[in-house]
Amino acid sequence: MKGARHLVDILRSKQYNDKSLGQHFLINDQLIADSVSYGEVDADDHVLEIGPGPGVLTEALLAKGCRVTAIEIDAGAVKHLQNQFSTEINQGSLVVQTGDALTVAWPDNVTKVIANIPYQISSPLVDLLTRYLRNQWLDSLVKVVLLVQEEFAERLVMEYDSDVGSLGMTALLDWRSEILAKVAPHNFSPNPKVNSCFIEMIPSHEKFNIDKRLVKQIIHQAFNQRRKKLRTTLKATPKRLNRLPNWYAERWRRAYQSLMDDERMDLRPEDLDFDDWVKLAQDVAQIGPS
């Protein structure tokens, strides 16, 4: 294996680091091996890697004998990957796809997502992973391992009371998430200004007697003004409500009116746990379309 520092140096010799893409490359070979180990990767897996950059994680994944689809937005990095892994590309074990991972189509049979992602896409990526999980025909996706900013990881798993918010609450609709390990800045090139964390996300496949999208909209609506009571925050119609089947402003208004005497309306978002949000959404949905 070429090793992380060698692959990073080759890419760096051809182009400058692009700060706008959040390029901080992991250069600690042991931590790269750890991420593959966390993913429990074997030869039967089809792994999606997002933002492979110089290919340090790509190399470690391919060493496990799995198939890898790597999506990279940086054209220079794509050319670098094509040069460094030409054999694996020709053999069909690696597909390098050029584009934005948030907009291009993903393969429909991915078993694992393992990636050291640009931190600015963390939140939209979790949303995209959730949509991918819900839309799968074969339920192939079994695990996600990401290297993310520490603050984001803490909010995702709601590590502390102060981290409780819409990100962690809505993620619980589909995932069981855990922080696996903290990673200090000196393990990257260039060094980020913050600590990072490996996180694990396991699909829960939990079913609820309610449209999960409605639960998510209610949670987001409430936490957008987290210091205010639900009586105030839920009065306005959620901005994307009409994207849900049979939901529109008048139905929301009637649902809100039906809860005016409910004691939960005098609570603030942090006073409700996950089950409370599901039950609240179920009660809201009892007011049917006219």
Q: What is the CATH number of the domain that holds 44?
A: 3.40.50.150
pLDDT in tens, 220-268: 999 999 999 999 999 999 999 999 999 999 999 999 999 999 999 999 9
Residue for token pair 């839309």: 135
b/e burial code for range 264-283 (CB count within 10 A of at least 16 → b): bbebbbeebebeebbbbbee
Domain total for the chain? 2
Q: Do 40 and 175 belong together in one domain?
A: yes
Q: Do 238 and 102 belong together in one domain?
A: no
Residue-range definition of the domain harbouring residue 271: 212-285
Residue 154, in any domain of the structure: yes
Q: Omega of the bond prior to 190 within 30 degrees of 0, cis?
A: yes
Residue 51, in any domain of the structure: yes
Q: Do 114 and 195 belong together in one domain?
A: yes
The whole-angstrom separation of Cα 170 and Cα 213 is: 9
pLDDT in tens, 65-81: 999 999 999 999 999 99
Nearest to 272 by CA among 120, 177, 168, 198: 168
The residues, any chain, with a CB within 8 Å of residue 45's CB and separated by 6 or more, are: 39, 64, 66, 67, 111, 112
Residue 290, in any domain of the structure: no
Would you say the pTM of this structure is higher than 0.85?
A: yes
